[in-house]
Homo-oligomer: A and B are copies of this chain.
């Protein structure tokens, strides 16, 4: 479960340059060692939402062989949003780490 970190992951995937939805899904799976094998029904709506929000821009491309693809790239606000998400993740994960660490006791 990604619960709220999907946007960050998708934005980060596009940091290395433009890509189309299907390739993004494959990359997330590969790079995460299959920990995240996201269904299309999760990723495509997310891409639409992010474009709607102005964080991504898209254009249709027809490759030499194969079918049409919608290629997404980060906008300026997308890049800024990614930086925000990274900070949010850092804060979040450090807090969880601390809470899960163990060794906490109750005041008398």
A residues adjacent to B (C-beta < 8 A)? 1-5, 8-9, 12-13, 15-17, 19, 23, 27-28, 31-33, 35-36, 85-86, 89, 91-100, 102-106
Query: B95 and A36: CB pair below 8 A?
Result: yes
Contact A102 B3, CB 8 Å, known A9-B96, A93-B93, A95-B32: no
Tell me the minimal C-beta distance from A89 to chain B in angstroms: 6
Docked complex Cα distance between A91 and B2 (Å): 12
Complex copy number for this chain: 2
Chain B residues within 8 Å of A36, by CB: 95, 99
- Kindly identify which residue among B15, B16, B89 contacts A96, using a CB–CB cutoff of 8 Å: B89
Chain B residue, CB-CB nearest to A96: B5
